[in-house]
Structure 1
Amino acid sequence: MALLLGALRVLLGGFFALAGAAKLSGHISAPVSEQMKALFVQFAEVCPLKVFGYQPDPMSYQTAVGWLELLAGLLLVVGPRMLQDISNLLLTLLMMGAILTLMSLKESLSTCIPAIVCLGLLLLLDVGQLLSQTKKVVRRSRKKTPSAFKESWK
């Protein structure tokens, strides 16, 4: 179980780190970089933070999301347990925001599927780590009866 969770963590962390790097740099794939710029103009218009009165600049929004994905992805792979949990939470919130943004743009379900799958895998990783952690905490132990208690029944 631990090996499977570790593999999933490395896979997700690598994916998010690569996706973040693609948003930050045009050197990875120039066509994808240009497409991202156009998409983030639309994403900024329906940003979930707009509810709180914040309207992000599309380039700043893309840069912030890129850094968040890159750093959280790297921490998910190589960080200590506490930072892995924090990065999993941040990436989960980011995927929820991505799904909300795509739904606000009235995109098709096929466009939302990658974000939904990533969210599902992040939640699976979180639940799996929680279950493996509780197995370590809950241990069966024999309770020894104090000898004074045994003697009173004789």
Structure 2
Amino acid sequence: MALGLRALRVLLGGFFALTGAAKLSEQISAPASQQMKALFVQFAEVFPLKVFGYQPDPMNYQEAVGWLELLAGLLLVLGPPMLREISNLLLTLLMMGALPALLQFPRSSD
């Protein structure tokens, strides 16, 4: 059981670190980077704090999310237990914050 949880922690942490790095650099995947730039323009338009008059710059928003994912993913893989717990909380809050933005957009029928 402990080995399975450790493997899941490493896989999830690696996934978040890789997606964070992809948001920060076009060298990981240029097509994915271009797609993310377009998505963050849309995400900034439906930012939850917009009702209070705050709308982030899409590129700053993407960079902030990228750094948070990269740092939290690395802490999840390599950090001591207390920092892993903080990383879990940060990633959970980040994903909860992403849900309203993702639910605002209709699905494409590819």
Normalization by structure 1: what TM-score? 0.67
Task: Write the distance in 2 (CA, Å) between the matches of 1:30 and 1:36.
Answer: 10
Misfit runs of 4+, over 4 Å? none
| 1:98 positional shift | 1.3
Task: Write the distance in 2 (CA, Å) between the matches of 1:2 and 1:39.
Answer: 37
Amino acid in structure 1 at the alignment position of 2:24: L
Task: Write the distance in 2 (CA, Å) between the matches of 1:87 and 1:54.
Answer: 26
SS where residue 3 of structure 2 aligns? helix
Task: Write the distance in 2 (CA, Å) between the matches of 1:87 and 1:50.
Answer: 26
Q: Give yes or no for the alignment of 1:38 onto 2:38.
A: yes
| 1:96 positional shift | 1.0
In the comparison of the two structures, how many residue pairs are matched?
107
- In the other structure, the counterpart of 1:5 is 5
- In the other structure, the counterpart of 2:17 is 17
Task: Write the distance in 1 (CA, Å) between the matches of 2:99 and 2:21.
Answer: 20
| 1:2 positional shift | 1.1
The sequence identity of aligned pairs, in percent, is 79
Task: Write the distance in 1 (CA, Å) between the matches of 2:87 and 2:3.
Answer: 20
Task: Write the distance in 1 (CA, Å) between the matches of 2:71 and 2:58.
Answer: 20
1:1-150 matches, within 5 Å, as 1-105=1-105, 107-108=106-107
Task: Write the distance in 2 (CA, Å) between the matches of 1:3 and 1:56.
Answer: 41
Query: RCO greater where, 1 or 2, for CA within 8 Å and sep 6 or more?
Result: 2
Structure 1 vs Structure 2 CA RMSD: 1.1
Amino acid in structure 1 at the alignment position of 2:53: G
Greater C-alpha Rg: 1
Stretches of structure 2 that go unaligned for 5 or more consecutive residues are none
Normalization by structure 2: what TM-score? 0.92
SS where residue 54 of structure 2 aligns? coil
